[in-house]
Structures are given as structure tokens and as C-alpha cells.
Amino acid sequence: MSELVKKLEPKIIWNHFANLNAIPRPSKKEEQVIEFMMNFGKDLHLETFTDSVGNVIIRKPATKNFENRKTIVLQSHLDMVHQKNGTTIFDFDNEGIKMLIEGDWVTADGTTLGADNGMGVAAIMSVLSSKKIQHPNIEALFTIDEETGMTGAMGLEAGLLEGEILLNLDTEEDDEIGMGCAGGIDVTATGKYPEEVTPQKTIGFSITVKGLNGGHSGMDIHKGLGNANKIMNRLLFDGFSKFGLRISEINGGSLRNAIPRESNAIIAIDKISEKIFLRNTELLIAQIKNEFLSIEPNLTIEIQEIATPEKVMELNIQENFIRAIYTSLNGVYRMSPTISGLVETSNNIAKVTVQKGLIKVKCLIRSSSESNKQDLTNSLKSAFELAGFEVEISGEYPGWQPNVNSKILEIVSNIYEDLHGEKAHVAACHAGLECGILGQNYPKMDMVSFGPTILGAHSPDEKVSISSTQKFWRFLQEILKNIPKK
């Protein structure tokens, strides 16, 4: 199917995207894609190098008559979120993405597509490889590890880049021009528990929550989508408080920046309570599915009898754990008081694991307000510490504060209106773009963000619009031709 994708227009972008998607590029394992980009730049006989953390920089001289324009930085990240459906067999470390064409969309076969941010990378590659596009001096910056730590952007040294303008190609709606974004911080709660021999005369069950939409924990957090970890905890709390349910194992969610789609638990119930427990749980399942019917029509919750687990969590720790998850906020904490419709602060309870005496809960807080980011961090930290857990705070990165006086924002907005006869949606977003971090070491660099329409990022439903990619490509070329003089 990659060969069919390569025939799409504009061919130059889709060919580069298909070649990129043949390279495994999980966050923190970007060795293969770094080598791929290094070879790409060197094959074009362009100045190509990596910095101390692994970011790839490729410089291309201006085309004729554009030498006196300001140097621009074209920036996208090399890594991609790796998510797959529970039934999909796929090795992200060794396989290239299997792409499909469905009408106006390119998607993947049961996995994330990597359009976030592969389409941006492919567009920059297209500019670098083209002999026809007019442009000023270009510094192409391909950062690493954006999705799980932004260590590439954080490690980029001051003074390495000469560009005065940065075009970040990581926005996911083609009528939007980004001028700001949220910062983030990781909250991880861990605890140990003694395993107890499962009481006699108990029966084992597996509980599975699946079929949720999932999605981007920033861009989709306001939609009220189901979080598999919170739904599972609701079921466990009910079973524990009414029937003495005992937990043996839990495995829910995966990456911090993805709303969890699936969760699995192994539990035990007194044999004498089996029938009433099942009847009560089925009623609760029906209620939950009804609550989510309009936005999660494929939600499935299954409970099946299995062999009784040999060991379960110690009872008091189990109760503290369940109550801590129940009281921890998931979703929107505060909407922006100044920008209508923008989420200011949120939390995603991303991954919950209970196994062999160890509990781990991973959360990602996002906020465009540093004070509210800290406020919510303290709230989660307090909830977990009161329950006896150790809490680690890590991975903090700043937001990108909007600059309403940005010259490049004005230029890009005018170009969009000239091309389409309507104004672009100029906005800050709740995702974590790298612009805020890059701006720390390059405070005078003028920045905007834009890109093609991508739906379902960070989930196996991810797809990118073919017609939108054509629109995006034309937009980018017009911007390159209209960069102001030095």
C-alpha cells in the first residue's frame, strides 16, 4: 500500500512520508531515523549534522534572489507515538507502518500512522530536496523525543541556530495557525504491597474495558471521552465496597500523552457472592455504557470467569489505591478565562499497573498557566501521598506564551486569507508544542505553528487528510516566498 500512497498528490510529500514511515521511530529509540535523516541530508550535499542530544540539523542555502531574506527554521519532530489495537500484531521497533487509503484519508492498519509529526518532517524534506521552490536560507531542525519528554528541544543549545523565524509544522487542523501552547509535567505515583495468598472459596474473573476512542491527551481532553483506567477503577471500587472484591493484577493504558483506550484486571470474589456480584456488575456496566453511548459507541466491558489467581493485594493497601484513583482528577481542571473554548489545565491518568507487589500510576498534567499547573500537581501529589504512595515529579516543560505582536504571525495570517478568502483560526492550543522550550534559548525567534488536518493522533484511529495535505503544501510554499528581508 505504500506504493499507492506514493502516487498521491503532492507526490513529493507522500513519497518522503512513505519512506519515513518505513523506518521504526519510537520515542527514545530514534537511532534508525536519525541515521535515515543524516543520510538524506548528505545525499543532497547539504550541511548536515547532529547536536549533542541527537537532533538533526540540515542547512540549505537560499535560492536565487532570496539571499537577502531572513533565515528561517523549519521544525518538526522525528519520533512518533506507538499505539496499536489490542488484536493487532505489530513490532514497532522493527516494522514500518502499514498504510491504507480510505477516501480522502491516509490511515494505518491497526496502529498509529505517524502523521504526527511525520507529515511535518516530510514537508521539510520536500523543501530540502526540491529544486523548484523559492525560499530564503533554511535551517531544518528535526528534534527527537518530543512525545515522551521533549528532550530534543530541551537539549538544543543556544547559539546553534542562526534563524530569526521558526515555522513549527506540528498543528493538526489546516485552518489553524498556532501562536501558543500548554506546558506539561509528569506525575508518577508508585507503591509496594505485600502479596497475600488468595482466600479459599473464591473465584477468579477477568474484567476488560476496551473499544474506547482514546486520542491525544491534550487536543482531545475536552471531549469527555472515556478513560479506561477511570472506568476500570469505578468497577473495582463498586465490587470491593459491596462484595469484598480482591485485586490480583491491573494493566491499563500505555503512554502519558494518549487517553487510555483499554484496561484489563484480574480479580477474585467469594464464591458465595458470585451471582449477585455478576448481576450487580452487569447493571453497572449497562449504566456506564449508557453514559458514554453518544461519544463512545464501541465501548465494550467484559467480565469472564478464569482460574482463581494465586495471590492478591493486601487489603488495606488495595483500599487506599482504589480510593486514590477515584479521587484523582482526570480531564479538564480549568478552562482558559481569557481565550474562549481553550482548555487551560488538565490531567490524563494515562497508565495504571498493579503486578507482583508493585503499583505504578502515570499521569500527565498540561497547562498554559504555570500557577495552575503547580496547583493541580499538588492536588494529585496530595491524593497519592495520603494513600501512602511515593510521588515523583518529572519531565516539566514550559508553555509557549502567545505573542499578539508577532510579525510572522501577521504575514502567515494574511497569506492564508489571500489564498482562501477567509481568515485562519489563530489560536493557542492545549497540546505541548516544542516552541515554548525552543523559545527559552532563542527568546528573539519569532514563531508560528501550522500543518495539515490530522484526526485521532496518538491512537490507532490516526489519519491525515489527502486534500488538506495539498492545501498545507501550497500554504507552506507561499510562506517561504514571502519571508521578509533582513
Supply the residues annotated as catalytic. Answer: 79, 146
Q: Which residues of 158-191 are buried (b: 16+ CB within 10 A; e: fewer)?
A: eeebebbbbbbbbbbbbebbbbbbbbbbbbbbeb
* Alpha carbon distance, N-terminus to C-terminus of the chain: 45
Identify which of 138, 194, 152 has the alpha carbon closest to the alpha carbon of residue 481: 138
State the DSSP string of 107-120: EESSB---HHHHHH
What's the DSSP call for residue 63? P
Would you call 437 helix, strand, or coil by DSSP? helix
State the DSSP string of 339-391: STT-EEEEEEEEEEEEETTEEEEEEEEEES-HHHHHHHHHHHHHHHHHTT-EE
What's the DSSP call for residue 221? G
Identify which of 60, 24, 28 has the alpha carbon closest to the alpha carbon of residue 152: 28
The answer to whether the beta carbons of residues 456 and 258 sit under 8 Å apart is no
Identify any residues that bridge with 250 across adjacent strands, giving them in sequence order. Answer: 265, 354
26 upstream amide cis, omega within 30 of 0: no
Identify which of 459, 464, 472 has the alpha carbon closest to the alpha carbon of residue 257: 459
Integer Cα distance of 173 and 109 in angstroms = 23
Integer Cα distance of 312 and 258 in angstroms = 29
Q: Residue 16: which H helix or E strand, with range?
A: helix 11-21
Q: How far is CA 185 from CA 248, 361, 375, in A?
A: 30, 14, 12
Torsions phi, psi for 283 (to 5 deg): -65, -45
